[in-house]
Chain A
Amino acid sequence: MADTNDKRVDQPTGTEFVGHEWDGIEELNTPLPRWWLWTFYATVIWGVVYVVLYPAWPLIEKGTEGVLGWSSRGELAEEMALADLARQSVYEQIAATDIEKLPASPELMQQAIAGGSAAFKVNCVQCHGAAAAGFEEYGYPNLNDDDWIWGGTLSDIEYTLVHGIRWEGSNQTRVNYMPAFEGILSDQELDSVVDHVLSLSGNGQSSAAGAELYTNNCSSCHQPAGEGSQLMGSPALNDAIWLYGDDRALIRQQILNPKHGVMPGWGERLDPVTIKMLAAYVHSRGGGEAPAETAPEEDNPESIATMADASDAPAVEGDDQP
């Protein structure tokens, strides 16, 4: 710092030197404009007002809340409420539209798919995966393909969503059980059935014994050519898609001691509009089926219920048999 007695003055400007010098360039003690000082005071006042009005000081339990009571969480809640309000009309339109009629209004369908995509990320990805591709290892079905165990029309998917599969919480749930063949079929018989099942999709050779065993034990549900039945929920065996895997050992395991996947019904947990949107999303993943033109829609759930009741019986039998 400069000597305080150093009062040298820059001749051209008449301003005092501060005393700092770099390579012959000296700093002048030019006075700050007074309004600049006022600006500084204004910022101080602004700061005081802000501290009074808004959350500011962190204390031990929580911070000061401010006179206005503003909080970022409160603002978020307000914005969410506004967003909900903005979506209200779309929700109402979806609620008023029959699900099979949704594709007829493409804009509404797109809105439903977008909403379903969001709901899927919250409720469904835990089992079906982020891209709805399922997990073969655990038997969570892939929802992107065109293979549907219980039906792939919009109303089929909606029904599955509402009531679930083998779900205790709903008496209208989709239920079937495949009997366990452990102890019923010999090792050799089992091999020939596996051969026949594989041959249904064009893999390997079947034998007369295998075909006969299949016809007697499997075809009532899986159908003679292995085409399965969506009414009974029996998977097709003649296509390229396998719920639990296409490996011989896995097929054998499934015949001996079948796995039965469970999906919760969402009817009581999600509102009908969200379920409709989820159905639209799942349907849009690339494998959705168009409704059968002659299918009487009202009969559909009934017949499924009937089939579910009917399929309960063999399941009980299956349990009794071993």
Chain B
Amino acid sequence: MTNPEPPPPPDPGRDWEGALTAEKSKSVSVSRRSGSDRARSASGGPPPTELYAKQKTVHNQRIDGPFRRFKWFVMVVTLAIYYITPWIRWDRGPFAPDQAVLVDLANRRFYMFNIEIWPHEFYFVAGLLIMAGIGLFLVTSAVGRAWCGYACPQTVWTDLFQHVDRLFDGDRNARIRLDKAPWGPSKVARRASKWTVYLLISFVTGGAWILYFADAPTLFVDFFTGEAAVVAYATVAILTFTTFWLGGFMREQVCVYMCPWPRIQTAMLDEKSLIVTYKDWRGEQRGSLKKAKKNPDVYGDCIDCLQCVAVCPTGIDIREGTQIGCITCALCIDACDRVMEDIDRPRGLIDYATLEGCEKEAAGEAPMPILKQLLRPRTVIYSLVWGGIGLAMLFALGTRTHTDLTVSPDRSPPFMLMKDGSVRNAFTLRLRNMESRPREMEIAVLGLPGAQMWTDRIGRDAAAPTQVVTVPADETRTVRAYVTVPSGTNGREFQFQLTSLDEQREQDAETITFTAPGDER
């Protein structure tokens, strides 16, 4: 039921949005309609109103090619990072965990190799998230939905599960047959074993997640001996279920209906972003190889073999143009290139291209080099912002000290008169030691003549202008400090100074007010 009308010549003056719409409508109008569409057009009336759409199972065909191999590579790398990372050890001495990447929620520490982040430094995490956001903008504006096509966990796990399908049920046609076959012992056995493997993969996925939050070898043993925390089992159960359900059954539905990212990307793509597209001016009028041989002037390069549809992991027809279901995994490029090779036509009927490049190519101009199209103000600005934030964070990370002092004075009572007439103020000092070893730190009172200080851990007998406190490894120690000045001293500002008594001699100081009688009147 193909439309015999030849495609209209592309109008070089049209804008890119118009191009997209025109391309879309044109492709649909000439593409082979599905059965219901055909019935619809035959009756001539409006389509029957369906309130709910049934999910069509996608049985994608095996394909090999440069993009498929790249996808394999990305899959192996990302899965390896996910599963292996918690097992990498990193020596931090006796006072800190030896796990390279650890989110220690109980102690509120985040370890990543030689970087350790405390909760008050959460801006580093915020910075990383901002970088991830801008990174996605950059990737989208340059190479379109590359994240969706290769690196998104939903894509990677769906891909993995589709390989499991192929392993148990065979390739596309065998799977379609099995789907239609009535339930019998063989089908039950196949489904049961396949879903068992799904479950195993899902369990390992959920299991690996919790290893990032505790010492992996310990938790691994605890988990299987029933010693782990309830939250660990609950997390594994939830993640096993979501992986099983989203990767095994929902698949492309996640991309089309649940995920906000494709919607955002729809707004972010422009005429200069790389997309996977069908070059309709070259492919149309499509027709079988036989017809094309008989009538080479009418028919284009597309022989309507539907290989691009068969290999698509989301089950779309790329010849209908850019659409929400297209994750730009480029498997259709592999499929089409292979067919073009077989029938001795140039590759790239379906290819990575920009809409602008397409327009030029359709108008008969030479195709623009991809790299030249990528370098433009938008991508350059994104790169600069992305790199700038990264450098700023590295700078902040490099110059931060591992010592910090905060002082809060007792406000009630603001001062205390002692027997001998001297005046005492009390302060709560927080000494932060971010090194993973205990450190001696000296607290000194500066700018307060005659001041004596003692802490809640020593008596007044040991009062002196400076005190030494040992701060445990990787901890903040709260010290109550009492400072007295002789009778008759007026209130004034003074400084607490903290010095680490090691080779670093890191310092921090805080200026604070000493309150004396008469100050508040």
Contacts and interface: CB of A to CB of B under 8 A. Distances in A.
Interface of A: 7-9, 11-16, 29-37, 106, 113, 129-131, 133, 142, 144-147, 236, 239-241, 284, 286-288, 290
Interface string B214-254: 00000000000000000000000000000000000010010
A236 B420 CA distance: 11
Nearest to A8: B46
Contact of B419 (A14, A15, A147, A284): A147
A32 B51 contact: yes
Contact of B416 (A13, A286, A290): A286
Contacts of A36: 52, 257
A-B pairs with lowest CB-CB distance, top 9: A7-B46, A239-B419, A131-B412, A240-B421, A31-B53, A133-B413, A34-B52, A12-B25, A31-B50
B132 to A, nearest CB: 29
Contacts of A145: 416-419, 424
A145 B460 CA distance: 12
B94 interface: no
Which DSSP category, helix, strand, loop or mixed, fits chain A's interface? Answer: loop
B504 interface: no
A9 B253 contact: no
Contacts of B418: 145-147, 240-241, 287
B461 interface: yes
B53 A33 contact: yes
12 contacts: A12-B25, A12-B320, A14-B28, A29-B49, A31-B50, A33-B53, A34-B55, A133-B412, A133-B413, A142-B413, A239-B419, A290-B461
Contact of A31 (B21, B40, B52, B424): B52
B98 to A, nearest CB: 26
A192 B172 CA distance: 114
Nearest to B249: A35
A36 B256 CA distance: 12
Contacts of A284: 456, 480
Interface in B405-425: 410, 412-413, 416-421, 424
Given A32-B52, A287-B418, 15 more contacts: A12-B320, A14-B40, A16-B47, A30-B53, A31-B50, A32-B53, A35-B55, A142-B413, A145-B417, A145-B419, A146-B418, A240-B418, A241-B417, A241-B419, A287-B416
Contacts of A142: 413, 416
Given A131-B413, A286-B416, A290-B461, A12 B28 contact: yes
B412 A9 contact: no
Given A12-B28, A144-B413, A37 B419 contact: no
B29 A11 contact: yes
A29 B52 CA distance: 11
Nearest to B422: A240
A8 B320 CA distance: 21
A299 B259 CA distance: 79
B417 A240 contact: yes
B28 A239 contact: no
Nearest to A35: B55
B417 A35 contact: no
B53 A34 contact: yes
Nearest to A148: B419
Contacts of A14: 28, 37, 40, 47
A240 B420 CA distance: 6
A301 B406 CA distance: 43
A8 to B, nearest CB: 8
Interface of B: 21, 24-25, 28-29, 37, 40, 45-47, 49-55, 250, 253, 257, 320, 410, 412-413, 416-421, 424, 426, 456-457, 459-461, 480, 482, 487
A240 B422 CA distance: 9
A37 B52 contact: yes
Given A133-B413, A240-B417, A241-B419, A11 B46 contact: no
Contacts of B482: 286
Contact of A16 (B49, B250, B419): B49
Contacts of A288: 459
B53 A11 contact: no
A286 B53 contact: no
Contact of B426 (A33, A239, A240, A286): A286
Contacts of A37: 52
A34 B54 CA distance: 6
Nearest to B45: A7
Which of B257, B419, B421, B480 has the largest count of A CB atoms less than 10 A from its CB? B419
A90 B59 CA distance: 64
Nearest to B487: A240
Nearest to A242: B417
B51 A286 contact: no
A199 B480 CA distance: 35
B28 A35 contact: no
B24 A12 contact: yes
A239 B457 CA distance: 26
A14 B482 CA distance: 81
A241 B420 CA distance: 9
A107 to B, nearest CB: 10
Contacts of B28: 11-14
A286 B424 contact: yes
Contacts of A16: 46-47, 49
A111 to B, nearest CB: 13
Nearest to A131: B412
A248 B151 CA distance: 84
A306 to B, nearest CB: 26
A188 to B, nearest CB: 30
A37 B487 CA distance: 79
Given A31-B51, A35-B250, A239 B257 contact: no
A101 to B, nearest CB: 15
A16 B46 CA distance: 8
A144 B461 contact: no
A37 B55 CA distance: 12
Contacts of B45: 7
B513 to A, nearest CB: 17
Nearest to B419: A239
B52 A113 contact: no
Contacts of A129: 412
B460 A146 contact: yes
Nearest to B28: A12
Nearest to A147: B419
B420 A239 contact: yes
Contacts of B54: 34
Given A32-B52, A34-B52, A240 B419 contact: yes
Nearest to B50: A31
Contacts of A236: 419
A9 B25 contact: no
Nearest to A284: B456
Contacts of B21: 12
A36 to B, nearest CB: 7
Contacts of A240: 417-421, 487
Nearest to B417: A240
B463 to A, nearest CB: 11
Nearest to A9: B46
A241 B424 CA distance: 13
Nearest to B454: A286
A280 to B, nearest CB: 11
Contacts of B413: 131, 133, 142, 144
B319 to A, nearest CB: 12
A289 B491 CA distance: 27
Which of A33, A130, A288 has the largest count of B CB atoms less than 10 A from its CB? A33
A37 B51 CA distance: 10
A284 B50 CA distance: 77
B59 to A, nearest CB: 18
